[in-house]
Structure 1
Amino acid sequence: MNAERKHNTQKNKIRLSIKWKVFLYLLIFALVIALVLWLCQVVFLDRIYKAVKIREIKKDAVKITRNLDSGDLGSVIEESAIAHNSCVSVLAITNRGIEPKYNYHSFNTCVVHSIAEENVISLYHSALKNGGSNTQRFLFDVKNRRYIGIEGDLFDQVPRDEHNERLPESIIYSVTAKNSNGENIFILINSEISPLDATVSTINKVLVFVTVLLIALALILAGLISHRVTGPIRKLTRAAKELAGGNYTVRFDEEGYKEISELANTLNYAEYELSRVDTLRRELIANISHDLRTPLTMIGGYSEVMRDIPGENTPENVQVIIDETKRLTSLVNDVLDISKLESGNALLEARPFNLTKNVQNILSRFAKLCERDGYDIEFFCDREVYVYADEARIGQVIYNLVGNALTHTGENKRVIVRQISEKSSVRIEVEDFGGGIEPEKLPDIWERYYKVDAVHKRSAVGSGLGLSIVRNIIEQSGGRYGVSSAVGEGSLFFVELPIYRENDDE
């Protein structure tokens, strides 16, 4: 046991606190965000930048085409070229050749303004064959002062191993159109689509700073979140330790988050139940001690009288000793029965038996008590009924209910027992005419440690633990039990069991 406890303690020592778990989760989240940023801004930056740049150039071409007959064509071209750092050339293709309409330079290495006329015508026809547009992608080899084609046939393509170094990439996007005069218009847009090295370097430095900042924020947020989350939990832990130490007056604050509030509410209910059970347990010990002490005192007292005083060794005194011995035995047996029933160790030997005769036999055992103390027990039944259950245990149920009624009946000392047969079940009622039970106490009278009166009253018959035994036996027999009571009028206890028929075995 000690080794196991030590092992569990070691396991608890290596468990992370909520603070560090929250930090770990936030750190993972921050690293994932940083990884996504690095992938987008470093690994895939070139592809993303080129895709965005090409889409912008194509949008500019559409915009220029729509404004060919507009008086603001020049400002539209200039605005687009400046915004996207591109060169634009608008040409008219006629039978006489090529007529420039509008040119705009945005950078020094612009290509569209220096393309030979035959190459322009070739690009124009390629665009016509391609549905009205043409794309040329190429690199500029500064060292060898040459253009290297990537897409299209304007420039010669060179094997990759001949230009291993990183070279700036450019694009020429051309579209064909017609103006309102019916002229064939050819629009060429040239722009660099490789991100600048300085920009990439700046982004890398910013990403390093952002990554460090995210980790720092994760640590700060972990501290704040864990403080807000664990604060109520720490309070609950301290209160739970006090509860475990036997302090049943401790209260769990229902504050903070919904889950914490629900947990606190559950713990408060558990504290209430533990406090109630502890109180009832103490009362039970006191009551059982009283019930044990009373017969033992009487047995000892009568025995000493019979020993010391001549002539006191009478049958009456011997009978008192025998009665108290039986009462003591009954109390011990009832305590054992409760323990067995609640632990599930009491095996019920179910079989068909005549419940009506069983009740009559049980009531006959009270005949001497009725004759001696003036009790009046009446039994009413409509017919004989069979049930399938443990006959001895059901007899114990009837005995305990009648004994409870005799203990609490009124001055008339009258108890009525009824057997009410229905279509599929039979109901046994035991009614007394005592002081009754308050409505708020009815749900608790079946509890093992519960008693209605604050002052312990010695049972007229049995141990005073009978109702708890009744509940356990009926529950294990598949029946129902209950009580109705009115203060000052008495109580009616009942149990119900299924009626047995011979074809039930088939």
Structure 2
Amino acid sequence: MRPLPRPAETPDAAPQPVPRPAPCSPDTPGPTATEERALDRLTALVRQCHGSQVDVWLDETGTPAAPSAAAECLASARRTQLKPYVAPAVLLYIGSPEDRAPAIDPYRIAGVTAVILVLAVGMSVLVATRLVRPVRAVTAAARRMRAGDGSARAVVRAKGEVGELGAAFNEMSEHLDRMERQRKAMVSDVSHELRTPLSNIRGWLEAAQDGVADLDPALTASLVEEATLLQHIVDDLQQLALADVGKLRLHPEPVDAAALTEQIATVYRAAAEAAELALTVEVSGRPHLEADPVRLRQAVGNLLANAVRYTPAGGRVTLRAYGDGDDVLIEVADTGPGIAPEHLPHVFDRFWRAEKSRSRRTGGSGLGLAIVRQLAEAHGGSAAVRSEPGRGATFTLRLPRAPE
């Protein structure tokens, strides 16, 4: 039997559509248009490789299939068809036995390790020194303070937490030094204030005992005055001590500032007239506050007594009261010589007096203004002063206004 002749093929001819077998079941869908084009292209590649008319179809799993004789051509055609869509293969080069890794030099590794250790130790020592130096400075300053050196300060130039520690220590040291100086000054002032009246009383009593002086009414009145002064100093010290420990008792009640200032002015108006001074009262509105009237009269009375004492004849003392927001302000203004700027920060200090001789003719014990500040703070307020030399002084009590 003579074989059937093959139809002539042109390798470069465009692929012709190949009739596909119908689906095995009507429920099985056939290939889509895109799949048909891809299958036609694959068929053309398989025929070009095999050199004969070979059919390519999709099996039940949707995989291209061809006769077993064209299996290799099908695999090659599929690789050619998928090559534009697949990443190139990774080339793995395996060296030959001659391509050996360089030998490990243990001395070199040891040297590098030693250098790293030296650098690490050096940096650790540097950081530790920077951290320890300010701590040592604070420790040394604390030991000097314990030895009695009130001027001990720690020199700390570091920043961060260590710097804050040094600054806090210096602030504490300065505060303790200031408190110690104030304590010594207070002991000296108290001894001075108590020694003067006690010496007078003792001297006159010894003179009377020895028959040198007679206890006539004038001498008796003088001794009573000295004893009264001594009692005032002791009472003031006790009041300040109670205020320091927070045991100063107050009995607050609604107070009309206008009525209060008028009452206080009435008490001191006679002393002002005796000193040839004009004492006036100025009240704006009807300010009310919640305060202890006895303590408040004491505070304002101390201010008025100072104003009358230091204002020269022909001057004026003004007592004002007015509201300022949630506060009530009570002011005592005079036309006296005023206070020097360097003395203003010390006006409310205990036993402080600008006149250092502490003569009874020029001032009191130096506790009156300290008591004023303590009473104002006990009421939840504050005391302040403003003054210019030669233009008088104005003392201000700022107290909370009474609730409506």
Query: Smaller-chain TM-score range?
Result: 0.5 to 0.7
Please list the CA deviations of residues 172-230 of structure 1 after superposition, one character each: whole Å capped at 9, or x if unmatched. xx64xxxxxxxxxxxx733359xxxx979969999998778756644332112111232
One-letter identity of the residue aligned with 2:282:
C
Q: Alpha carbons of 1:418 and 1:303: their partners in 2 closer, same or farther (altered >3 Å)?
A: same
Q: Is the 8 A contact 2:272 2:308 kept in 1?
A: no
| Equivalent position of 1:431 in the other structure | 333
Q: Alpha carbons of 1:374 and 1:292: their partners in 2 closer, same or farther (altered >3 Å)?
A: same
Of 313-322 and 293-302, the range deviating more from structure 2? 313-322
Q: Is the 8 A contact 1:406 1:413 kept in 2?
A: no
Q: Alpha carbons of 1:304 and 1:297: their partners in 2 closer, same or farther (altered >3 Å)?
A: same
Equivalent position SS for 1:249: coil
Is 1:421 the counterpart of 2:322? The answer is: yes
One-letter identity of the residue aligned with 2:379:
S
| Equivalent position of 2:93 in the other structure | 191
Matches within 5 A, 1:243-262: 243-257=145-159
| d(CA) in 2 for partners of 1:483, 1:427 | 12
Query: Shift in Å at residue 336 of structure 1?
Result: 2.0
Of 316-325 and 251-260, the range deviating more from structure 2? 251-260
Query: Shift in Å at residue 476 of structure 1?
Result: 3.1
| d(CA) in 2 for partners of 1:449, 1:202 | 86
| d(CA) in 1 for partners of 2:170, 2:106 | 56
Q: Alpha carbons of 1:235 and 1:461: their partners in 2 closer, same or farther (altered >3 Å)?
A: closer
| Equivalent position of 1:290 in the other structure | 192
Query: Shift in Å at residue 399 of structure 1?
Result: 2.1
1:330 to 225, 229, 232: 232
| Equivalent position of 1:227 in the other structure | 129
| d(CA) in 2 for partners of 1:253, 1:420 | 50
Count of residues in Structure 1 that have an aligned counterpart in Structure 2: 333
One-letter identity of the residue aligned with 2:238:
L
Equivalent position SS for 1:431: strand
Q: Alpha carbons of 1:401 and 1:222: their partners in 2 closer, same or farther (altered >3 Å)?
A: same
Equivalent position SS for 1:417: strand
Equivalent position SS for 2:289: strand
| d(CA) in 2 for partners of 1:281, 1:413 | 40
Q: Is the 8 A contact 1:431 1:492 kept in 2?
A: yes
One-letter identity of the residue aligned with 1:332:
V
Query: Shift in Å at residue 294 of structure 1?
Result: 1.0
Gaps of 5+ in 2: 1-45, 52-70
Please list the CA deviations of residues 374-419 of structure 1 after superposition, one character each: whole Å capped at 9, or x if unmatched. 4646132347654211112211211221233344x14428561312
| Equivalent position of 2:250 in the other structure | 348
2:292 to 390, 393, 398: 390
Task: Give the TM-score taking structure 2 as reference length.
Answer: 0.65
Equivalent position SS for 2:91: strand
| Equivalent position of 2:181 in the other structure | 279
Query: Shift in Å at residue 272 of structure 1?
Result: 4.2
| d(CA) in 2 for partners of 1:217, 1:482 | 61
| d(CA) in 1 for partners of 2:109, 2:79 | 43
| d(CA) in 2 for partners of 1:282, 1:380 | 40
Q: Is the 8 A contact 1:431 1:491 kept in 2?
A: yes
| Equivalent position of 1:404 in the other structure | 306
Q: Alpha carbons of 1:199 and 1:415: their partners in 2 closer, same or farther (altered >3 Å)?
A: farther
Equivalent position SS for 1:468: helix
Q: Is the 8 A contact 1:437 1:485 kept in 2?
A: yes
Matches within 5 A, 1:58-73: none
Query: Shift in Å at residue 293 of structure 1?
Result: 0.7
| d(CA) in 2 for partners of 1:305, 1:427 | 51
| Equivalent position of 1:339 in the other structure | 241
1:491 to 388, 393, 396: 393
One-letter identity of the residue aligned with 1:379:
T
Q: Alpha carbons of 1:127 and 1:423: their partners in 2 closer, same or farther (altered >3 Å)?
A: same
Q: Is the 8 A contact 2:137 2:156 kept in 1?
A: no
Matches within 5 A, 1:40-59: none
Q: Is the 8 A contact 1:295 1:328 kept in 2?
A: yes
One-letter identity of the residue aligned with 1:320:
S
Asked which structure has the greater CA Rg, the reply is: 2
Q: Is the 8 A contact 1:393 1:473 kept in 2?
A: yes
| d(CA) in 2 for partners of 1:123, 1:336 | 114
One-letter identity of the residue aligned with 1:285:
V
Of 395-404 and 243-252, the range deviating more from structure 2? 243-252
Of 488-497 and 203-212, the range deviating more from structure 2? 203-212
| d(CA) in 2 for partners of 1:283, 1:411 | 30
Equivalent position SS for 1:189: coil
Q: Alpha carbons of 1:229 and 1:127: their partners in 2 closer, same or farther (altered >3 Å)?
A: farther
Q: Alpha carbons of 1:450 and 1:270: their partners in 2 closer, same or farther (altered >3 Å)?
A: farther
Equivalent position SS for 1:191: coil
Gaps of 5+ in 1: 1-92, 98-117, 135-173, 176-187
| d(CA) in 1 for partners of 2:395, 2:136 | 48
